């Protein structure tokens, strides 16, 4: 069992790491013009699923592929998006439809055999490797960003894309700090701090807000469940006092000026009066197009890429591309998983429900200013599709007791030794 768990963790880490490292191979402009290189991790993922199918005794199914939690949505989304993609004016919609449908099926096949804990462990090691690679190869660029307070950008990453995937790595690293052995706590703490540092230097306000808000909500959940009410009230009071003292200090002006320059809060193009860096105008234009009727049936998978302006809102992109029925299926599924994870954690205190809630909440918040709600082009989105198609939460919610939850094969089987 431990051997299988280690294999699962290693293969999972390889998939997510490869997905992240693809951005190191080309410039951002090259990836925008020719995104085919990003399919390499998905091909590797397909090979892993094929191996699982060839060795069913090594990777036994824990639930039926056809029925159970998550089974229906795997088929409903392709069915309702096929015709709009086929009739789309975008020449690549059918190709993207085929890719998304294939990945959905692969994610279902994968998640009915691999426990959530193994996948999360793989994401943790992927985060450590990607962050270490980034610090090693882009260390000088980071130092330049620190010295000049200019926006950090490197390799094929758009700064917001880099911050988006680091948001997921940050949440999983914090989880390891909370539950892992000492050496992993240290690695997790270093990874989490590095993620926040790079997110800040990348001037990604959306990712920063998503990380902070989701952390605060999960912190409140933890305090309420563990009945640590003194901690719940004490930390905010101490923070308010510390902030008040800092504001009154002589160094506040210089620090705030540096923060303002990095995050460009008062700048003309990205500041407070820019309409979220022009996003509000793009949202209004897109909404006007949708009101002509395409919100009902959709314009085809990834057809929003052909719009003359970027639509940086995952929910609006989903509605534009796929229409109202897939929109409610996908968003409803994510909200259902979020609600189940919250209820299960508050009832049992199981750490897997906590981290699933943590990651998914940050992912959904971050998709308000970003466009990656349903896609497979980066590690965060790929994991979200896995969660979408998986039976992980549904399996665990059938067993209400802590003992049953921690022995449930779908959620926690094959836990690797420390």
Q: 323 near 298, Cβ under 8 Å?
A: yes
Domain ranges for the chain? 2-412
Calpha distance 163→43 (Å, rounded): 25
Rounded distance between C-alpha atoms, residue 75 and residue 99, angstroms? 14
For the chain, how long is the longest CA-to-CA vector? 67
- Confidence (pLDDT) at 233: 86
Which residue stretches of the chain have pLDDT < 70? 1-2, 28-34, 268-269, 271-275, 395-418
Query: pLDDT of 242-260, one tens digit each?
Result: 888 878 887 888 888 888 8
What's the confidence (pLDDT) of residue 254? 83
In angstroms, the CA 161 to CA 35 distance is 14
Q: What's residue 274's pLDDT?
A: 66
CB burial of 338-351 (b: ≥16 within 10 Å; e: otherwise) equals bebbbebbeebebb
User: What is the rounded distance in angstroms from the CA atom of residue 137 to the CA atom of residue 157?
Assistant: 13
Three-class secondary structure of residue 138 per DSSP: coil
Q: For residue 403, what pLDDT is reported?
A: 36
Inter-residue contact 367 to 313 (CB < 8 Å): yes
Per-residue pLDDT tens over the stretch 163-174: 999 999 999 999
């Amino acid at each position: 069992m431990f051997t299988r768990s280690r294999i699962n963790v290693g293969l999972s880490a390889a998939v997510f790491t490869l997905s992240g490292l693809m951005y190191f191979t080309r410039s951002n402009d090259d990836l925008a013009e020719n995104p085919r290189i990003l399919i390499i991790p998905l091909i590797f993922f397909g090979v892993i699923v094929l191996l699982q199918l060839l060795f069913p005794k090594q990777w036994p199914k824990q639930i039926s592929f056809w029925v159970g939690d998550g089974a229906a949505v795997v088929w409903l989304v392709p069915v309702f998006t096929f015709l709009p993609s086929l009739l789309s004016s975008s020449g690549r919609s059918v190709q993207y439809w085929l890719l998304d449908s294939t990945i959905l099926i692969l994610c279902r096949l994968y998640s009915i055999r691999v426990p959530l804990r193994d996948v999360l462990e793989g994401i943790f090691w992927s985060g450590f490797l990607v962050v270490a690679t980034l610090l090693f190869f882009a260390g000088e660029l980071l130092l330049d960003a620190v010295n000049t307070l200019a926006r950090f950008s490197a390799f094929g990453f758009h700064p917001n894309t880099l911050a988006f995937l680091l948001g997921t790595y940050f949440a999983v690293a914090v989880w390891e700090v909370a539950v892992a052995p000492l050496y992993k706590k240290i690695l997790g703490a270093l990874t989490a701090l590095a993620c926040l540092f790079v997110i800040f230097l990348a001037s990604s306000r959306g990712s920063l807000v998503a990380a902070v808000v989701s952390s605060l909500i999960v912190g409140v959940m933890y305090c309420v469940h563990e009945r640590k009410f003194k901690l719940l009230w004490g930390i905010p009071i101490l923070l308010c006092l510390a902030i008040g003292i800092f504001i009154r200090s002589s160094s506040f002006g210089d620090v705030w000026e540096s923060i303002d320059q990095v995050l460009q809060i008062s700048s003309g193009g990205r500041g407070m009066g820019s309409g979220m860096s022009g996003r509000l105008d793009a949202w209004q234009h897109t909404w006007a197009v949708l009101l002509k009727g395409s919100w009902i049936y959709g314009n085809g998978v990834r057809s929003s890429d052909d719009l003359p302006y970027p639509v940086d809102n995952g929910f609006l992109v989903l509605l534009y591309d796929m229409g109202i029925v897939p929109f409610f299926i996908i968003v409803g599924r994510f909200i259902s998983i979020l609600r189940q994870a919250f209820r299960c954690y508050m009832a049992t205190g199981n750490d897997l429900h906590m981290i699933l809630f943590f990651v998914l909440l940050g992912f959904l918040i971050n998709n308000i200013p970003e466009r990656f709600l349903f896609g497979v082009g980066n590690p965060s989105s790929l994991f979200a599709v896995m969660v979408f198609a998986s039976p992980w939460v549904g399996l665990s919610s059938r067993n209400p007791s802590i003992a049953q939850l921690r022995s449930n094969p779908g959620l926690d089987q094959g836990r690797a030794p420390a």
